[in-house]
Structure 1
Amino acid sequence: MPAVTFVQASGERRTVQGLDGESVMQVARRHGLPGIVADCGGELSCATCHVMVDEQWLEAVPVRSPDEEEMLECTAEMPTACSRLACQVRLTPALEGLVVHVPRSQK
């Protein structure tokens, strides 16, 4: 069960357990974490689960798909090179300890 740490814009950190194959968005929603609205339920048709993957983890997560790239243009906060849609990052044992930052605009 991979652990994921969510860092809020305030600096508050919360580490929760995910399941192999579960998306980072599903983990956040299951644990009631703020800032991951996920209006579309993980269908890649909104940008309300925008997170920034901690730089130390960038090479470990799969690359963004063209559809995700396009949807990231719709985020409330300007996307960065670290931006991902949490619904598109699936947990694997290799992502044990993943750290993601929730944008300030998604309190």
Structure 2
Amino acid sequence: MAKRRSDQEWHALFEQYEASELTQRAFCEQNNLSPSTFFAKRQRLQQISTNQHSGFVKAQLIEKTTHYQSVHTPVANMTLSLGEVELSIPPGTPASYIAELIGALS
């Protein structure tokens, strides 16, 4: 005759199973448990646990501030002078654009 266990005893068995590195089948064999009973009981207790929760979760606001520090010294704009006209070009401007611009100004 199979031993009847309380829900607390089952919870303890499930915790032992989780802590072990055994497969479910090996754990059941080692503890003289029916794998189908083990699985069914585990599912039922998880479902009961899920149903007892209201569906809401407690949210906690954690204020996190991130500070960035520049590792590189900022690069100044490039200035092109053509007669009395000066053109300031920011870093990262594509060279093809600058070449086209110089060609158009010539």
For the aligned pair, the TM-score class normalised by the smaller chain equals under 0.3
Larger Rg: 2
Larger proportion of helix:
2
Larger proportion of strand:
1
Length-normalised TM-score, structure 1:
0.21
Length-normalised TM-score, structure 2:
0.22
